[in-house]
Amino acid sequence: MTLEDFIEGDFEKYINNTGEICRDDTSEISLQAEAFVHFTYVNSNQQLIVSDIQGVNYWLCDPEITSAKLMDDKDSSIFFCCGNLSSTAIDNFFRDTTVTNLSPVKPSTSIVKKKTEIKNFNTALNIIQNFNIS
């Protein structure tokens, strides 16, 4: 059983785990998801993106973390999980994105207006900002 079974409404995928954008240019959430993925890339010093953005409205679930470097040099384990498609997903995202300014971006108020519904928002943001592959 998954969380998706308990969320009422129409389930939509905005960005899949391959980094491809499932774009609906009329959807504010779709455009915000794209901006969020770009935000994670910039704020991790171009080392990762959060992909597989999907859910019902702002109730998002089951994301993937995709890192520029796939494997840990110390033990050859894959960073984060087997869904990490590494540079392939990052390249796909930037091939398709309409976000063209790579200067640091911050999510607008409307992007994070539902952050109170995300209990670990600050923890997730801290991980993104401090992630470092050495």
CA distance 4 to 14: 15
Q: What are the residue ranges of helices labelled H in 79-120? A: 86-96
125 φ/ψ angles, rounded to the nearest 5 degrees: -65, -40
Instruction: State residue 48 phi and psi, 5-degree precision.
Output: -160, 165
Average pLDDT of span 5-19: 88
Please report the domains of the chain, with CATH numbers, ordered by start residue: 3-130 (3.20.200.10)
Q: What DSSP string describes 9-70?
A: S--EEEE-TTS-B---TT-HHHHHHHHHHHHHHHHTTSSEEEE-EEEETTEE---EEEESS-
Give the SS3 label for residue 113. coil
Nearest to 115 by CA among 46, 33, 39, 58: 58
Tens-place pLDDT, residues 22-76: 877 778 888 888 888 988 988 888 889 999 999 888 888 888 899 988 888 899 8
Confidence category of residue 113, pLDDT binned at 50, 70, 90: very low
Does residue 14 surpass a pLDDT of 80? yes
Structural contact between residues 44 and 102, judged by C-beta atoms closer than 8 angstroms: no
